[in-house]
């Protein structure tokens, strides 16, 4: 069942989204050669708890981290540990918070020092594809409009969209209906209605779209060992379009002003 949020509930989700966004901003400067993914994870937990919220992922179905830290060919769900980042790696941080009972979820891919031209292009295209998908969100549209926009952009630039993993609804639970694929034909899936909140999260591979899960039963990697990138925002369907809930305050203010007083971003 798809739950549409009231304005009061969206206000609570904005606060949750702001916690997640602020925590991620605090982690970005830490992503340097020599730091371990566990150290970044510990910083994430401190940041989230310091704002009076709880890490959304910690303990979720037994997951042991406050973030998912996925490196290079790891697509998602990397478990933070002793692995130290090296020059040329790319790190995907997937992070979420629970504030006053409401969840928010976002992800960002960061280069570690200087990276290859392929890695840089992959990161750029994946991030841009997220906003292509977000711009397809509006009342009266359909969930598959998001995936269609993402897929078209990614494939136009020579990369592949992961099909085995998708975005999702979010609210009082981390994962809610509907599923939000990053591929498909426009005009299908559930109708988009005011108050729906979606975690839109393109996962894009430099090689094949196929993936496999490692023996730890969490970490998903590309089937061919190619690089993968991941970006995500929590997005609400609002009158006239969309509102990105996982933005720091300053960015949210700029985004609002840029579209003439309606909430959203490009």
- Which residue do the tokens 């009972």 mark? 101
pLDDT in tens, 90-103: 999 999 999 999 99
> Residue ranges per domain, the chain?
7-258
What's the token pair of residue 39? 């150290």
pLDDT in tens, 160-219: 999 999 999 999 999 999 999 999 999 999 999 999 999 999 999 999 999 999 999 999
**pLDDT value for 258:** 44
Question: Per residue, what are the HEC states of 116-169?
Answer: CHHHHHHHHHHHHHHHHHHCCCCCCCEHHHHHHHHHHHHHHCCCEECCCCCEEE
CA-CA distance, 134 to 154, in Å (whole number)?
14
Q: What's the mean per-residue pLDDT of the chain?
A: 94
Q: Which fold has domain 7-258?
A: Creatine Amidinohydrolase (3.90.230)
Cα dihedral 241/108/210/145 (nearest 10): 0
Question: pTM for this structure?
Answer: 0.94
* Sign, Cα dihedral of 190, 194, 196, 200: positive
């Amino acid at each position: 069942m798809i739950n549409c949020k009231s304005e009061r509930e969206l206000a609570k989700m904005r606060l949750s989204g702001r916690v997640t966004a602020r925590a991620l901003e605090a982690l970005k400067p830490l992503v340097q050669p020599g730091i371990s993914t566990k150290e970044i994870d510990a910083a994430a937990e401190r940041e989230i708890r310091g704002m009076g919220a709880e890490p959304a992922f910690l303990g979720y179905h037994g997951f042991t981290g406050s973030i998912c830290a996925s490196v290079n060919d790891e697509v998602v769900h990397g478990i933070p540990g002793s692995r130290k980042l090296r020059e040329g790696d790319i790190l995907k941080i997937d992070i979420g918070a629970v504030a006053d009972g409401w969840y928010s979820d976002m992800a960002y891919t960061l280069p570690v020092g200087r990276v290859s031209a392929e890695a840089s292009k992959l990161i750029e295209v994946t991030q841009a594809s997220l906003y292509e998908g977000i711009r397809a969100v509006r009342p009266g549209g359909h969930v598959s409009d998001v995936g269609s926009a993402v897929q078209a952009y990614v494939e136009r630039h020579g990369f592949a969209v992961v099909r085995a993993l998708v975005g999702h609804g979010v609210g009082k639970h981390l994962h809610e209906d509907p599923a939000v694929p990053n591929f498909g034909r426009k005009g299908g899936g559930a109708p988009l209605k005011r108050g729906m909140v979606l975690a839109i999260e393109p996962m894009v591979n430099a090689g094949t779209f196929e993936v496999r899960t490692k023996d730890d039963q969490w970490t998903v990697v590309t089937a061919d060992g190619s690089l993968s990138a991941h970006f995500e925002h929590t997005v609400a369907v609002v009158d006239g379009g969309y509102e990105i809930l996982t933005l720091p305050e300053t960015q949210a203010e700029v985004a609002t002003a840029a579209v003439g007083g309606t909430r959203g971003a490009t």
